Amino acid sequence: MIKLVAFLGNYGREYEKTRHNVAWYFEDSLPFASRLSWQSKFKGEIASCTPAELSQWACDYKICSKKDGTPVLVPEDAPQHIYFLKPMTYMNLSGDSIIEAASFYKILPEEILVVHDELELTLGFVSLKWSGGLGGHNGLRSTKAVLNTADFWRLRFGIGRPDNPNIGIADYVLSRFTEEQQEIMQNVFSQTTLLLVKLLLAPEPSRLIDAWGKKKLV
């Protein structure tokens, strides 16, 4: 089961709601975000909850529940805690924060979910991926380097490539979504929240790949 969710992004107000910070944007949008208590540690900000708490929150905020309206059952082999991490190292050093948290809590690479932006996916798409290439993403490159493996989970938000070929990729990913695109992303986030909860309460996350390997939400 997944024990650590790492939301990749750059620290600083100038990066708020930029394409490269879409993972932080997603975390901020979570209905239960206010229930998480963050503290500075591991070169980042970290929070945690128990699987039972997450299941209850999912029920409270009508994300998912059993047919009778009660919280979904927590697997018997669920971890004691689920950790949420926002590295404050800047994108290209994200792995430094992830490895510190993973080492401290004895979390294996295959128990880590990295949430990040994806140029090769069109805006409105999300993708759940296990292992594989890095797509030139500096945050993923840093994570692979410190974990010494690419075998970790990724939740990818499509941001697409710039329509104007004269706009450099670096400038593009560090630019903000337009108001129209922000509305699209809010819709995407709302639907992806269900996926995140299912992932964190699923004994076998791989079972979700068929439905979420590449999904158009908007």
The CATH number linked to 134 is 3.40.50.1470
Which string of b and e fits 156-178 if b means at least 16 CB within 10 Å? bbbbbebeeeeeeeeebbbeebe
Contact criterion met (CB below 8 Å) for 217 and 125: yes
pTM: 0.96
CB neighbours (10 Å) of residue 27?
Answer: 22
**Which residue in the list 20, 81, 116, 137 is annotated as catalytic?**
20
End-to-end CA distance of the chain: 29
Complete DSSP assignment for 57-115: HHHHTTS---TTSSPPPPPTT--S-EEEEEE-S-GGGHHHHHHHHHHHHT--GGGEEEE
Residue-wise pLDDT for 71-95, tens only, equals 999 999 999 999 999 999 999 999 9
Mean pLDDT of 113-136: 96
Is residue 66 over pLDDT 90?
Answer: no
Structural domain range at position 32:
4-216
- Position 184 scores a pLDDT of 97
**How many independent structural domains does the chain possess?**
1
Per the annotation, the verdict on 116 as an active-site residue is no
Report, as an integer, the average pLDDT of 186-210: 95
128-154 pLDDT tens trace: 999 999 988 999 999 999 999 999 999
Six token digits for residue 157: 């938000």
CB under 8 Å to 186, separation ≥6 — which residues? 29
- Indicate the residue type of 8: L
**Confidence band of 67 (pLDDT split at 50, 70, 90):** confident
